[in-house]
Amino acid sequence: MGKRWACGIVGVGMWALSGCAEASSAADTAGSDVIDTDASDTDTGSDEDTGSGEDTGREGDVAPDADTGPDGDDAGDTAVVLGDPDVLVGSFQVTLVPPVAATAEAEATPGFTSVYGKVYDGPTPSSVQWEEVDRDGDCVLWVPRVPSCTTRCGSSALCVDDEVCQSYPTAHPVGEVTFSGITTASGDDETVMKPVANAYQPSETLPFPAFTEGARVFINSGGGDYAKFTIEARGIVPLVLTSGEMVLDGESLALTWTAGAEPSAAITVKLDISHHGGTRGVLTCATADDGALDIAARLVAELLDLGVSGLPTIVVTRSATGVAVIEPGRVELVLASIVEEPVTVPGLVSCTDDSQCPEGTTCQDDLACR
C-alpha cells in the first residue's frame, strides 16, 4: 500500500481535496480534513490553495493585527501569535448554485450564491483516514481506513487513529464579517454578516453569480475572539461540463468543460462509485482549469475492482481560494462552482425501489438491483 495522506476538502456535498499533505504521524493527520469533511461544516472544493491569498505566517510568527479591509488600513500594532498555516480551522464557503429548470414534478428554481462561514479554535477531527494506493498524472486513488480506539473517546472527541482520540473544536465569533467585491440583489457592493450561533450567513439572498470572473472578492472580519483578518480570492464563472454521458468501462475517462479565464482557479474531481454501499474507494483529481482531463484507464479499472453501488456520480468543481492565518491556524475563503453528474457502469441498474428493477431482482440497500 502507498503512503498515508491527510487531505482537506472544501465543497458542498461532494468531493475534492484541499491541501493534501503526507502524514508523518497521528498528530499531523488527526485534524486534517479528509475526502468529505471540512472545518466549516460544509463540503466543496479545491485540492490546492490556488487563490490570490497567501499563507502569512508559521506557528510562533508574530505579526500585527490584520488589515481591516481591501484598502489595507492598519487596525493597530498589537502583536498576535499566528498559528500553523497547515492546520485548517475555518472557512467561508461561497458557492454558485445554478438555476434548475422546471420538470413535470417540480417548479423551476432560480439560481443564487450561497455563503456559509465558521471559524474554530482547532482542526476538525475525521473518523476516516485515507490511504493512497495509486496515482497517475493529476489523479489519485484512495481507500479508507477506519481507526480503532479500545478506550472510548466519549462524546467530546473522535477516534482519529489507532488508540488516538482528538477533541472536537469549538466555534468562535470573529466579529461582524463584511463580504465585498460582489453585487447584491439590491445593487450594493457588499453585505455584512453577523454571527448566529458562531456561524456566518448573509441575511439576504445573493444573485447568481454574485461576482464577475476575476473580480477581487473579500472577507473582512471585524475582530472577535481572534484578531481581525482579511482574505481575498478572485471571482470565477459557473462551471459548464461538455463531456456528455460518462461511462466507466475500464477504459480511460475523458472529462471536458468550458475553460475559465481566471488564472487562480483550479478544477477538482471526485469519483465515488460505491458511496451508497459504504465507500470502498475514491478517485480524486486536481488539475488546471484548461478544459480537459483524461483519467487513466488503470485508475478507473482499479476503482471498479473495489466495488460499485447504485447511483454512482462524478463531482467536478471549479474553485478559487484565498487564505489568512490567525491564532489557531488557517482560514480559507473558497469561491466554488460545483457540478454533479451521474456516471454509467455497464451492468449496473440503480434503483430507489423494487419497481425500478428487472424481473427477478430487487432493490438492495446499496440502491442497486440484484
Does residue 286 sit within a domain?
no
Residues 6+ apart with CB under 8 A from 166: 30, 31, 123, 125, 153, 157, 158, 160
Residues 6+ apart with CB under 8 A from 222: 68, 174, 175, 176, 177, 178, 228
d(CA 253, CA 314): 11
What is the number of other CB atoms lying within 10 angstroms of the CB of residue 99? Answer: 10
Strands 190-193 and 199-200: unpaired
Question: What percent of the chain stands above pLDDT 70?
Answer: 79
- Residue 305's SS3 state is helix
DSSP string, 176-227: -EEEESS--TTS-SEEEE--BTTEE--SSPBPSSSS-TT-EEEEEE--SSS-
| pLDDT tens per residue across all 370 residues of the chain | 333 333 333 333 322 333 333 333 322 322 233 344 343 343 333 333 333 333 333 333 333 344 444 444 444 556 789 999 999 999 999 999 999 999 988 999 999 999 999 999 999 999 999 999 999 999 999 999 999 999 999 999 999 999 999 999 999 999 999 999 999 999 999 999 999 999 999 999 999 999 999 999 999 999 999 999 999 999 999 999 999 899 999 899 999 999 999 999 999 999 999 988 788 999 999 999 999 999 999 999 999 999 999 999 999 999 999 999 999 999 999 999 999 999 999 999 999 999 999 999 999 999 999 9
Give pLDDT, residue 79: 77
Adjacent-strand bridge partners of 293: 255
Give pLDDT, residue 78: 64
- The letter for the amino acid at 320 is A
Does residue 134 sit within a domain?
yes
- The sign of the dihedral angle between the CA atoms of 154, 117, 330, 18 is positive
- Residue 109's SS3 state is strand
H or E element at residue 303: helix 297-306
Residues 6+ apart with CB under 8 A from 282: 15, 35, 130, 141, 142, 144, 270, 271, 272
Give the side-chain half-sphere CA count within 13 A for 213. 13
Give pLDDT, residue 234: 98
C-alpha cell at 288: 488546471
Q: What angle do CA 182, 183, 184 make, to 5 degrees?
A: 120
User: How many domains is the chain partitioned into structurally?
Assistant: 1
Does residue 65 sit within a domain?
yes
Does residue 263 sit within a domain?
no
Does residue 247 sit within a domain?
no
- The letter for the amino acid at 235 is G
State the first-to-last Cα distance of the chain, in angstroms, to the nearest integer: 32
65-94 burial code (b ≥16 CB/10 A, e <16): bbbbebeeeebeeeebebbbbbbbbbbbbb
Give pLDDT, residue 138: 97
Q: What angle do CA 280, 282, 288 make, to 5 degrees?
A: 175
Adjacent-strand bridge partners of 329: 326
Range of the domain at 143: 4-70+78-240+318-341
Does residue 105 sit within a domain?
yes
Give pLDDT, residue 77: 54
d(CA 213, CA 161): 41
Does residue 245 sit within a domain?
no
Does residue 201 sit within a domain?
yes
Q: What is the dihedral of CA 233, 234, 240, 241, to 10 degrees?
A: -60
Task: For residue range 307-338, list pLDDT tens digits in order.
Answer: 999 999 999 999 999 999 999 999 999 999 99
- For residues 15 and 36, the answer to whether their CB atoms sit within 8 Å is yes
- For residues 6 and 32, the answer to whether their CB atoms sit within 8 Å is yes
- The letter for the amino acid at 370 is R
Give pLDDT, residue 277: 79
